[in-house]
Structure formats: structure tokens, C-alpha cells
Chain A
Amino acid sequence: MVRKRLGTWDVLVVAVLALVVVASSVLVDGFATSRFWGFLLLDVIPIALIALPMTLVIITGEIDLSVASVLGLSSAVMGQLWLSGTPLPLILPLVVLLGVACGAVNGLFVTGFGLPSLAVTIGTLALYRGLSYVVLGDRAVADFPFSWTGTFIEPLPGTTVPWVALVVLGLAVVFGVVLHATPIGRALFAMGNNDQAATFSGISVAKTKFWLFVVTGAVASLAGFFWTMRYASARADNGAGLELAVVAAVLLGGVSIFGGRGTLGGVLAGVLLLITLRNALQLADVPADTLTVVTGTLLIISVVGPNAASMLRDRLRRRRPA
């Protein structure tokens, strides 16, 4: 039953996405061009990237609001390292290590000290963003070599699809397989449904969650690296507020905020829907503030929708004679 309801929500999101694409192709000038889709995919990459581990985190019933700050800190540290003459091939692993460390701090507070992840990551959201200002202040480092910054927005030969989008797709397949086809994935769902039951069935809840936060930190720092390369600018405020867009996309994709429910395919559809709608409206000259309203409304609909649907279904079923 649960499975069936999930399926319908996924299908609904994909259907709405298709509707938005078709409607915009007809109504919005320049939407159906491959150039627009190239830019759209570049916008999708950071959010889609962070949404992958975030999906897993939310399915276990936790949340990580510090991801955008990890992205910003990675960007700031990148800028500082570059200023001090570190070569970029060395900066990349250092930045990922930084993300691992940030994630480990989150994981330690949540699983080691048993604190609620919501409170912990609101704290580290402020802490990591604050540290990125400490590292770089309000300066911007923008003299990265074009041989690097150009590479990251390079499309696949003969298309406008950025090659990084394929890497993200590959990662999405890995996360999808782990979540839906391995014992680890089933353990994540079990934890989200009932921590204690999961513990009693032999799952090491704390250890799994700790590593999940570490992976989230690492992926967020990768997104920070991409962000810095894409905009060719390292700033302390890079990606500020992005955590809300990521959470919105994940929930829109049908993941339950209470944990235990959701699919990775649904989340990808959610990310695409959010960004496509936003970019299409932007292209149609809808002012940026209306976009904010749309994002917020989508987020609310994404949680009210399934709830209202299941309430309605329950009522209908009760009315029907058993």
C-alpha cells in the first residue's frame, strides 16, 4: 500500500515536470533551445549533487542544514589556498578532506552525543559559514586559470550537455543502487521508520548515520569546488541559502520529512522540476521575487499534497462498505 502511494507521487511529479516542459516550450520563447538546456543543467548540477546524499539523510529521519555552508567554506578555503600558491590538482583533494571533516563534526555531534540533527546542523550552518568569512572575509578570488574554469562548463562534444552532468548522473545511479538495491539502503529505510527496531535487528544505526553525514560533507565540498569553477569566483557567501532549495527539491521529490519513505528517482524529478520551472519563469521575464513565491509554494504543496491525498483516500475508503 505504502509502495503504491509512493509510486503515484513519483509519477505525479514526473507528469508535472513533463507538463511544465511542454507548456514552456510552447509559451516561452527560447525555452526549447539546446543552449537554454545547457545552462539549465549547469544550474541543476550543484543542487542535484547535494540532493543525492541529502535524500539518504532525510530517509534515515535526520536532516543536514549545513550543506550550503560546507559549500561556501570549501569555496573560501579554495580561494585562500589558491592565493597562497597551492596548485589546483592539490586543492581538490584538500577541499574534499575539508568536507569530510565538516561532515564528521556533524556526525559526531548527532551520533556521538545523541543531539538532534536539526539543532546541530543549524549550529554548524552558522559555524561553517562564519568560518568561511574568517578565512576569506568579503574578498573574492577570481583569478583561477581558464584552463580549469572553462573545463567545468564544457559540454560533451556535439551537444550542449555539460560533461559534469553525466558525472552527476553516474553518481545518482550509484546512490540509487545503494538506496534501493542493497542491504545498506534497506537499513536506511529501516532506521527512518524506527530507530530502535533497526537497532534490535542488528543494524549499527549510529555508525551508519555518522558515515552518511561524512559522505554528505564530502559531496557538499565537491559541489563547492564545482560552484567555484563554474562561476570562476571563490567567495565566502557562495551558495548561501542553497540548503533550502535542496531540502525543497528532496521533499518535492516525495521523500517524507519524517524518514522511512522516498525514492531517488523521485528526488531527481523534483530537482529538475524546481529548476526547470524557475528557469522557464526567468526566461519569461517573471521577476525574481515571484520565483521565490513559486519555490515556497511548491515546497508547501509537496508536503500538503501527499497528506491531503492520503486523508482523502482514507475518508473515501471509510465511506465505502467494507
Chain B
Amino acid sequence: MTTATKPAQGASPPRARGDVRGARRLFVIRELGIALALVLLVAVTTISNSRFLSAQSRKDLMLGATILVVLAVGQTIVVITRNVDLSVGSVLGLSAFATGKLFLAMPDAPIVLAILAGVGLGVLCGAVNGALIAIARVPALVVTLGTLYVFRGLDYSWAAGQQINAADMPSGFKRMGTAVVLGVPVLALFAVAVLLIAGFYLRSYRSGREMYAIGSDPDAARLSGIPVGWRVFTAMTVSGALAGLAGVLYAARFGTLDAAAGTSIELNVVAAVVVGGVAIFGGSGSVYGAALGAVLLSTMGAALPVLRIDPFWQQAVVGSLILAAIGLDRALTARIARRLRGRRARGA
């Protein structure tokens, strides 16, 4: 590789830029592909039953995607740094139950306080994950597998079988769960805001770009002076915070809460992220792709019954989608690698 590039040094910069543009085009195609699959799914389902796109159904679809999108955004930031956060479902459950408890104790509490409490709890959980990963140098997969158990166990022992009913929630909070602005549910606006902020941060901030650098090659990132431990800690904390926010949104949407909220949703989140074209070993992908993946998965869950497909098929379809997505990504990166190598060789 090095011997092939050296003679072409003088001419290589413009070529390299062209290659990068080509590579980027392929990734845009990757995201367009999911969008196309989503449009196709909605079109086929609507043809089969025109009520699938009625105002009420549109609202349900958006609400259904909200929580998964918020979680997928956090997970994307983590996966880009070549880590993974399997504890998000448990953090969501903990935060949702905490929200319910808060309103039981203080029925007049402002909504902002509930959101702050949920996010704060999430930050705490995420910081525990992050500290274990960054300081004790333990792989994220194992740490978050452990905290998946721990946080859920804490949730269960806190709840002690108690269920909080929608009737116990203040009406203002419940209204937030159903309110609509210009045809878009308020809860979905939270997801959109989170998505745009995270997208802008990852694209335009130095520390955002460093996340990608860490995921591409952690050792190289460390050698070039990037505070790898600190960035990974931040990514885990952000993922925890978003899971906490998702818990509050869950409480607002469903009202009825027990300790089992969000059980095994982490699988769907990882699925959404992978289907959305974020490489599981870090360094590439975008929050927009992951959000599209989340919308695709949740829409599929809603479309199957409309298409009169046995709902028992849903999980099998999710599994096949994951396999198809990682297979496709592999083929794409192989093609990019071949293209880069081909141009370099020709340049030499």
C-alpha cells in the first residue's frame, strides 16, 4: 500500500478528495436506500388499507417511532466510538418509573422538572457506564450487559410490584403525551430536536469529528492527542441522558407504568442503528440514518397487522433486516476500498 502511494504523492491530493466524495456518495445512497424502503413499505401498506395514512394513524406512527428514534440517536454516538450501550432499556425503565414516582409525590410538579429529573437520572446511569469503560478499561459490551441487569434489578426492587396508573398522572403531563402541533405530536418534536442537535454536533464540532476518529482507530486517535477516555465517557453519558429523556417520553405517552417498561428494547435500538448504516465497529454512519432505521422498524411493526401478516413474524423480519443491513454495508465498504485502491494504483 505505502509503496504504491509514494510515487504518486505529487498528484494524489485532488484525487484523494475525489475518492472521499465518491465514498460519501455511497453513504448517501445507503441512507436513501432506507428512506426508499420506508416509502415503499408505507405505499404498499396504504394501497392495502387507505386508513394507514389517516390523520390518527399518522399520529400513531410518529408517536410509535419517537422513543426508538431518541434511543437510536444516543446509541449512534456510542457505536460511532466503537462501543455499545446495551443498558438503554433498563435506564428507560428506571427513568419512566422515577417520573411516575415524582408525580405521585408532587402532583403539581412542573413538566420541566420531570424532564430534568429523568435526564439527570439517565446522566447518572450513563456516567457509571462511562466511568467503568474509560477508567477501568473494560469493554462496553460487558459493562453495559452488567448494568442492563443492575439497573433493571434496581428498578424492580424500587417498584416492588407497584404499578402507577395513568389516573395518578397530572393532566398537564398527560396532555403533553397527546398534544399535536401542526399535525406533529409534541413528543415527536422532542425526537426531532434531539436528532437535529446530535446531527449538527457530530458533523460540525471538533469533538464530534473526534468521535469518528476514535471509532476508526482508537490507538491512532490516542496518539494524535484526542482525549479518548473522556470522549467515550461523554458518549456513554449522552446515551444515558437520552435514555432518561426517552423514559420521561414513555411515561407521558403511556401513563401506566411498572418496572418492566422498555424491557429488551435495546435489541431494537441496536437493530435500528445497524439497519441505519452505522458500522457496528465504529467510525462511520450518521444519526439521520439511524433515525431512519428506527422509523423503518417501528413503521414495520405497525404495518404488519395492517398487511394481515401474523404479528409473530415481526421479530424474524427484524432479525433478517439486521443481517441484510450488515451484509449490504460489507459489500459497500468492500466496493469503496476497491475503488480507492483502483484509483491509487492507476495514479501510480
- Interface residues of chain A, those whose CB is within 8 Å of chain B, are 109, 113-116, 118-120, 122-131, 133-134, 137-138, 241, 244, 247-248, 251, 257-258, 287-297, 299-300, 303-304, 307-308
Contact partner of B157 (CB less than 8 A), chosen from A138, A293, A300, is A293
Residues of B within 8 A of A257 (CB): 139, 141-142
Instruction: Give the residue name and chain of the B residue nearest to A133 (CB).
Output: B312
Interface flag for B319 (CB, 8 Å): yes
Residues of A within 8 A of B312 (CB): 130, 133-134, 137-138
Is A130 a contact of B145 with CB atoms below 8 Å?
A: no
Interface flag for B156 (CB, 8 Å): yes
Chain A interface, >50% SS class: helix
Is A296 a contact of B138 with CB atoms below 8 Å?
A: no
The 9 listed contacts between A and B (C-beta, < 8 Å) are A120-B326, A124-B319, A130-B312, A137-B312, A289-B154, A289-B157, A295-B153, A307-B137, A308-B136
| C-alpha gap A109/B319 in the complex (Å) | 13
Residues of A within 8 A of B136 (CB): 303-304, 307-308
| C-alpha gap A291/B323 in the complex (Å) | 34
Say how far A116's CB is from chain B's closest CB, in angstroms: 6
Interface flag for B110 (CB, 8 Å): no
| C-alpha gap A235/B126 in the complex (Å) | 35
Is A122 a contact of B322 with CB atoms below 8 Å?
A: yes
Is B137 a contact of A291 with CB atoms below 8 Å?
A: no
Tell me whether A116 and B313 are in contact in the complex, defined as CB-CB below 8 angstroms, given that A289-B156, A296-B146 are known contacts: no
Say how far B150's CB is from chain A's closest CB, in angstroms: 4
Say how far B102's CB is from chain A's closest CB, in angstroms: 21
Is B146 a contact of A300 with CB atoms below 8 Å?
A: yes
Residues of B within 8 A of A308 (CB): 136
Is A118 a contact of B141 with CB atoms below 8 Å?
A: yes
Residues of B within 8 A of A241 (CB): 264
Say how far B189's CB is from chain A's closest CB, in angstroms: 30
Residues of B within 8 A of A304 (CB): 132, 136, 138
Contact partner of B310 (CB less than 8 A), chosen from A126, A134, A287, is A134
Q: Which 9 A-B pairs have the closest CB atoms?
A: A127-B319, A296-B149, A130-B316, A130-B315, A289-B156, A292-B153, A126-B319, A123-B322, A293-B153
Residues of A within 8 A of B267 (CB): 122, 125-126
Residues of A within 8 A of B141 (CB): 118, 257
Interface flag for B271 (CB, 8 Å): yes
| C-alpha gap A291/B157 in the complex (Å) | 10
Say how far A230's CB is from chain B's closest CB, in angstroms: 24
Say how far B274's CB is from chain A's closest CB, in angstroms: 6
Interface flag for B318 (CB, 8 Å): yes
Residues of B within 8 A of A247 (CB): 145
Contact partner of A114 (CB less than 8 A), chosen from B146, B314, B323, B330, is B330
Categorize the interface residue count of chain B: 35 or more
Say how far A203's CB is from chain B's closest CB, in angstroms: 23
| C-alpha gap A114/B333 in the complex (Å) | 12
Contact partner of A125 (CB less than 8 A), chosen from B139, B274, B319, is B319
| C-alpha gap A288/B280 in the complex (Å) | 33
| C-alpha gap A52/B147 in the complex (Å) | 25
| C-alpha gap A295/B151 in the complex (Å) | 11
Is A299 a contact of B145 with CB atoms below 8 Å?
A: yes
Residues of B within 8 A of A251 (CB): 142
| C-alpha gap A287/B156 in the complex (Å) | 10
| C-alpha gap A128/B322 in the complex (Å) | 12
Say how far A239's CB is from chain B's closest CB, in angstroms: 14
Residues of A within 8 A of B314 (CB): 130
Is A303 a contact of B139 with CB atoms below 8 Å?
A: yes
Chain B 276-299 near chain A by CB (<8 Å), digits 1 or 0: 000011000000000000000000
| C-alpha gap A308/B146 in the complex (Å) | 17
List 15 additional contacts besides A119-B326, A241-B264, A289-B152; criterion CB under 8 Å.
A123-B320, A124-B319, A126-B315, A127-B318, A133-B312, A133-B316, A244-B145, A251-B142, A257-B142, A289-B153, A296-B149, A297-B146, A299-B145, A303-B136, A307-B136
